[in-house]
Structures are given as C-alpha cells and as structure tokens.
Structure 1
C-alpha cells in the first residue's frame, strides 16, 4: 500500500509543479505580447544575423539572416517607424512592411 501512496504522491507533486510553472510563465508571455503591440515587423532593416525572424528559405528564424538589409528578414521596430528606417537594399531605400526582393547595390 505504501508503494501506491508514494507513486500517487509523486504524481500529484509533479502535476502541481507543472501547474505552478505554467502560471508563473503566463505574466511574462502577456508582457511580451503587450510590448509587441507597440511594434511592427519591418523587412529589410536587420543587419546580418540580427533579424528577429523570417529570413527566407534555408533559415530557421531569429538571427539567421545571411546579409545586411535582407529583404525577406524582419526586425521589430516601433510602430510607424518602419518606412522611415533606412534600408540599402529596399526599392524605396527604406524598410518595408512586407518582404521584398533586394535591389542591386
């Protein structure tokens, strides 16, 4: 009987620990979501290996851009500032709200 009690107690403790960790992470996730509401994805402004995400085929995500101002990688910037941020490869010379094909320098 003590074997069953020990197994049951261990399972209960594991579930309680899992629930506590989940609840502890929720405020941090909510804070990150709130911070990102004041930002927008801006394509073509990240430096090589400094993008926040989306760096095209053959890459995984953050930090994988292969060149400065890569047209299919983005970084978060303050809302409203993307199209005012310089980009050496953009057709307009500024960041874009969507991926683009880089112009030749």
Structure 2
C-alpha cells in the first residue's frame, strides 16, 4: 500500500509541476521552447517521446526531444531546434 501511495504522490507532484510550468510559459512571452539544448537532468518539462512528463528527468545531454525555456531569439544561436524541427528529427529517428 505504501508503494502505491508513493507512486500516486509522485504522479500528483508531476502533474502540479507541469501545470505550473505551463502557466509560467503562458505568462512569459519573452521566452521560447528550445529543443536539443538541455543537459541531462535539466530539461524543463515533458519530452516528445512521452517517456516522462516532469522537469529534470532527461537522461542525455542535447536530446532533440527535450527542451528548455530560453530568451526569444537565443535558441538558434545555441544550436537548438524549434518544435517543428524537433518533431521532424524525432519522426525520422523512429522511422
């Protein structure tokens, strides 16, 4: 029973964190999602693969499916990808 409570608690915490991040994104139009620049454990939220839904759960540096919020206009100079570019790269990798 304790294991079930821990799992439910962790899922609830992730859901709340996801909501907070989405609200912060909506409020801050001076930032953009930049895919492929997050270091392992430093992503901002869910990835394109759907293997996790919380911040800080990326496993690899520079994974194209992981993203961070960066100041608008700074993604490309950092070598990052837009959402459309990241989805295309992810789809090509799967297929």
Q: TM-score, normalised by structure 1?
A: 0.53
**1:30-82 CA distance string (max 9 Å, x none):** x9443x21000000000001000122232122111110011101000000110
- Compare CA radii of gyration and give the structure with the larger one: 1
Residue 82 (structure 1) aligned to one of 35, 56, 75: 75
Whole-Å separation in 2 of the counterparts to 1:79 and 1:71: 18
Distance 2:46 2:39 in 1: 13
RMSD (Å), alpha carbons:
2.4
TM-score (norm 2): 0.58
For structure 2, which runs of at least 5 residues remain unmatched after alignment? 1-22
Partners of 2:81 and 2:46 in 1: CA distance: 14
Structure with greater helix share of residues: 2
The answer as to 2:81 corresponding to 1:96 is yes
Distance 2:65 2:29 in 1: 21
Q: Which has the higher contact order (CA 8 A, sep 6+)?
A: 2
Q: Runs of at least 4 residues of structure 1 off by over 3 A? A: 31-34
3-state SS of paired residue (1:42): strand
C-alpha distance in 2, partners of 1:39/1:64?
A: 21
Counterpart of 1:84 in 2: which secondary structure?
A: helix
